Each structure stands twice: as structure tokens, then as C-alpha cells.
């Protein structure tokens, strides 16, 4: 069976994060009608896998089977050498507070923990993308971009940890870049390039 995504399909984006949904829709080049799992009222499955790919597949599978629509899911996060790869797959959990997700809180925690670990600014973003067909096949890819941390964070574009991450070869954080420049080099864009080569 050859897995292909035909232009014009209605796709579910398995996220409740508006920033991530916008970015994924932009990376899909307007080829599809995209609706989010949040808009459909689908529950967020518990992310119990040990890898980004495992969690992306889990989220895609759950939303595809629940909605009856082909679903794309992303699991991504920031890994820091000084912290042994943390927060990694727990990146979103580091932002959990009693009032909901707060990435300013998470970035403060990163700064504190890096300092406590003796410093070092090398970090990388990983994005795993999975596409699942309802009760059927699944395809998954992974992209990565290396860079360095900067404190305090800079810029209000993007989302998540973007304000504290400067990709290799750049002087601006992902939070300072305009979306087109970020999309040209981000971890998610690299994963999308692989996905497009495989499925489009």
C-alpha cells in the first residue's frame, strides 16, 4: 500500500495548542482543510511513550480513530546538553502550573536548572511528526535543529521555548524571527520536508 496525502483532504491536527496548530497549517502550504483536535472536542491522550516519535504516533492514532479522519500529530521539545537531554519529551510538562501551561514559568525553570548544573548553552529542538489513517497505517518522521540558549528570552513570535533558543548560525532567537525565516530552518520544518517527500 502506497501512503499518499491528496491535496484538499480534511485533516485533523492533533493538538490543543493554538500556536502549534497555526504553524502546522502554515507548513502544510494550504494544501488541506485543517481542523484541530481541540476544535473537535477530542480528548488529549496521556503521553506515555519514551520518545518523540512514540508520542506523536500515539496522539495521531488516538485522534484518527476517534474522528474517523486522517490525522497529523507533532511531538516536539527542547533538549539541553547540560541537563542530560531534559526537558526533552517532558518539555510541555515543565510548563504545567495550577493555572495551566505557562512557558514563561518553564523558561525560568530551564534557566535555574542550567545554572544549577554549572552552565553550558548547547541545546536542540526535536520535532516528530506522525500521520495516521483511521484504524489503519501510520507514517512518522523526525527533524532536529541545534543551537544555543539565551537568557532572558527575546521576542514574542513563535511559542513555547522559542524566545530562549538561537539556532546555529543565527543571532536571533526563534521568538524574534518572522515566521517565514523560522519555517525555513526549524526542527518542525525539517520534519515536514521529510514528511512531504514521503507522502505528498
31-61 residues labelled b (16+ CB within 10 A) or e (exposed) = ebebbbbeeeebeebebebeebbbbbbbbbb
Among all residues, which ones are annotated catalytic?
A: 75
- The residue whose grid cell reads 512514540 is 54
Question: In 77-152, which ranges are continuous DSSP H helix?
Answer: 103-116
**Number of CB atoms found within 10 A of residue 9's CB:** 12
Q: What's the CA gap between 167 and 173, in Å, rounded?
A: 7
The CA distance from 141 to 163, in Å, is 25
d(CA 5, CA 76): 22
Q: Which of 173, 151, 171 has its CA nearest to residue 163?
A: 173
What angle do the packed helices 18-27 and 187-199 form, to 10 degrees?
50
What residues does 33 pair with on adjacent strands?
A: 10
Amino acid at each position: 500500500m502506497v501512503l499518499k496525502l491528496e491535496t484538499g483532504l480534511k485533516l485533523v491536527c492533533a493538538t490543543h495548542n493554538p500556536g502549534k496548530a497555526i504553524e502546522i497549517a502554515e507548513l502544510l502550504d494550504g494544501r488541506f482543510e485543517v481542523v484541530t483536535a481541540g476544535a473537535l472536542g477530542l480528548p488529549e491522550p496521556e503521553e506515555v511513550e519514551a520518545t518523540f516519535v512514540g508520542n506523536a504516533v500515539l496522539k495521531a492514532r488516538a485522534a484518527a480513530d476517534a474522528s474517523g479522519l486522517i490525522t497529523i500529530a507533532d511531538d516536539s521539545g527542547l533538549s539541553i546538553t547540560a541537563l542530560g537531554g531534559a526537558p526533552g519529551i517532558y518539555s510541555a510538562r515543565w510548563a504545567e502550573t495550577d493555572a495551566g501551561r505557562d512557558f514563561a514559568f518553564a523558561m525560568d525553570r530551564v534557566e535555574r536548572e542550567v545554572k544549577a548544573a554549572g552552565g553550558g548553552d548547547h541545546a536542540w529542538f526535536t520535532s516528530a511528526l506522525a500521520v495516521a489513517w483511521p484504524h489503519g497505517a501510520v507514517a512518522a518522521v523526525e527533524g532536529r535543529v541545534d543551537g544555543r540558549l539565551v537568557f532572558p528570552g527575546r521576542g514574542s513570535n513563535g511559542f513555547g521555548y522559542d524566545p530562549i533558543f538561537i539556532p546555529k548560525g543565527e543571532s536571533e532567537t526563534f521568538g524574534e524571527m518572522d515566521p517565514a525565516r523560522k519555517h525555513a530552518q526549524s526542527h518542525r520544518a525539517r520534519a515536514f520536508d521529510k514528511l512531504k517527500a514521503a507522502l505528498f
